[in-house]
Chains A and B, each alone.
Chain A
């Protein structure tokens, strides 16, 4: 059994990702599993999961199991011109599953870059997201969008926040038929409807999509967002794996949390996105900080989907010994076999459904 074979895909990923992030100056950040509940109450708009798991600690303080890593990272730190705090993490988070309503423990890895960000930092975050995916599987897709574009289009279409949210949900589902119906029923202008539908339908390689997007963008806010996407693609286009990067303007993500650039990563064989990230400047503003921020998280639990093969063997050797056997003789046999590179399970009877390569009886084994 090789060392690589002993590691599960998510465990291999943790090591590989940590090495990658260290190469780019992202320092590992270790944090407590608990956080004061108050932090989440004050910032609930910025929580990916809207339900946290509270408990009272021994001092009577109301605490919560951490549902999210980013909030705990950004609540501390200082803002300095020209500087950036670059951190990576690998933590468990605790959420209530939206569908089943059950508590879940999820393993996350990721990074955050917080500070005086510029175009390079956005490129670095996206590039590291692509490199992270490449470490997990050769068959990946990294999808990008810019919420500045969608926001501008939505503001043109509707003054009402509730309507904008409903329109955004339909864009996220590429549901153009209901998008048109809602636009018509809500008095959205025909021109805004056309532009919104055109935006929602845009996806493909950046080289193809960007010129079509440029033709759609007319306002100043849109032009700024488009400029950021174009500048980003200019840097990414020369990178290895650039062909796996796509633009998809239906990628909405959480609009409370993210602003600007957003991205999601997919691996072949995993049914949902394993990587999610983007810019989250609004959270920093809410916390009274002047910095900007970009980051992403990888949901390592989902990597189990890549490895659904049953284990071939529980042990290379099943060593059977009789109840009265001398423990020293058992220990000596186990040592001999393990030193020969074999995995051994010493048993007095064959466990039910146990899969082994070879059965050795202690009495028949060659003496050490």
Chain B
């Protein structure tokens, strides 16, 4: 039996359909909003819905053998696991954004609002830029509008939210997409099952 952690939300639903098409269906998994665990013994899978940022924790700690997480979540958590596939779903980018017309003069500590403090820290450390990280949990776009921060580091999908708030992308940090990840120890004991699941999922990419 493979335990698979799925990220709650739109991406998780698309991934779930992908697993279904790859031969791992599970009745009810997309319909029932309240249940958290779904099992299909015939297909050898047990799915559970978790908060997207918790997927790496479930997988790293072995509660799930496999999971699907965005590259943003993985780079922030830096879990010790195998990243088996880029599922090429949920594409967006991690970017630095600021109010239209903003220019970093470089003579002051840059105030950065973000949900991703480690990513922001690594990015600016790589550039040798002194920053002050302001960790927020949502509505990051508000921070520069109210003068709480100079810039934000956040994921940008279409850019509509930025545009509506008179913000623009300054720099792209890295592209983001959903990744299939596996627990390292599980891979040693469920080798064939995990390899087969990864191979079948590979066949579904881009379909």
A143 touches B188 (CB 8 A): yes
A270 touches B85 (CB 8 A): no
Chain A's nearest CB lies how many Å from the CB of B195?
10
Specify which chain A residues have a CB less than 8 angstroms from the CB of B61 in the assembled complex: 271
Say yes or no: is B86 at the interface (Cβ < 8 Å to chain A). yes
- Nearest CB to that of A270 among chain B residues? B185
Q: Mark A39-79, 1 if CB is under 8 A from B, else 0.
A: 00000000000000000000000000000000000000000
Say yes or no: is A178 at the interface (Cβ < 8 Å to chain B). yes
A177 touches B86 (CB 8 A): yes
Q: Mark B71-83, 1 if CB is under 8 A from A, else 0.
A: 0000000001111
The complex places the Cα of A272 from the Cα of B189 at a distance, in Å, of: 12
A139 touches B189 (CB 8 A): yes
A272 touches B185 (CB 8 A): yes
Specify which chain B residues have a CB less than 8 angstroms from the CB of A9 in the assembled complex: none
Say yes or no: is B17 at the interface (Cβ < 8 Å to chain A). no
B83 touches A141 (CB 8 A): no
Tally the A-B contacts, defined by beta carbons under 8 Å: 42
Specify which chain A residues have a CB less than 8 angstroms from the CB of B85 in the assembled complex: 177
Tell whether A266 pairs with B185 under 8 Å between CB atoms, given A271-B61, A271-B62: yes
B184 touches A272 (CB 8 A): yes
Specify which chain B residues have a CB less than 8 angstroms from the CB of A267 in the assembled complex: 185
B83 touches A271 (CB 8 A): no
The complex places the Cα of A271 from the Cα of B184 at a distance, in Å, of: 8
Say yes or no: is A268 at the interface (Cβ < 8 Å to chain B). yes
Tell whether A174 pairs with B84 under 8 Å between CB atoms, given A271-B60, A271-B61, A271-B62: yes
Specify which chain A residues have a CB less than 8 angstroms from the CB of B183 in the assembled complex: 271
The complex places the Cα of A139 from the Cα of B185 at a distance, in Å, of: 12
A271 touches B185 (CB 8 A): yes
- Nearest CB to that of A250 among chain B residues? B82
- Nearest CB to that of A139 among chain B residues? B189
Chain A's nearest CB lies how many Å from the CB of B12?
21
The complex places the Cα of A271 from the Cα of B56 at a distance, in Å, of: 13
The complex places the Cα of A266 from the Cα of B82 at a distance, in Å, of: 15
Chain B's nearest CB lies how many Å from the CB of A32?
31
Interface residues of A in 241-283 (CB under 8 A from B): 246, 250, 266-268, 270-273
B188 touches A141 (CB 8 A): yes
B83 touches A178 (CB 8 A): yes
Tell whether A174 pairs with B62 under 8 Å between CB atoms, given A268-B189, A272-B184, A273-B185: no
The complex places the Cα of A270 from the Cα of B61 at a distance, in Å, of: 9
| Additional 18 contacts, C-beta under 8 A, given A266-B184, A271-B63 | A141-B188, A141-B189, A143-B188, A173-B82, A173-B83, A174-B84, A175-B82, A178-B83, A178-B86, A266-B185, A266-B188, A268-B189, A270-B62, A271-B185, A272-B60, A272-B184, A273-B184, A273-B185
**A-B pairs with lowest CB-CB distance, top 7:** A271-B62, A175-B83, A141-B188, A177-B86, A174-B82, A266-B188, A173-B83
Show 26 A/B contacts (Cβ-Cβ < 8 Å), sorted by A: A141-B188, A141-B189, A143-B188, A173-B81, A173-B83, A174-B82, A174-B83, A175-B82, A175-B83, A175-B84, A177-B86, A178-B83, A266-B184, A266-B189, A268-B189, A270-B185, A271-B60, A271-B61, A271-B62, A271-B183, A271-B186, A272-B80, A272-B184, A272-B185, A273-B184, A273-B185
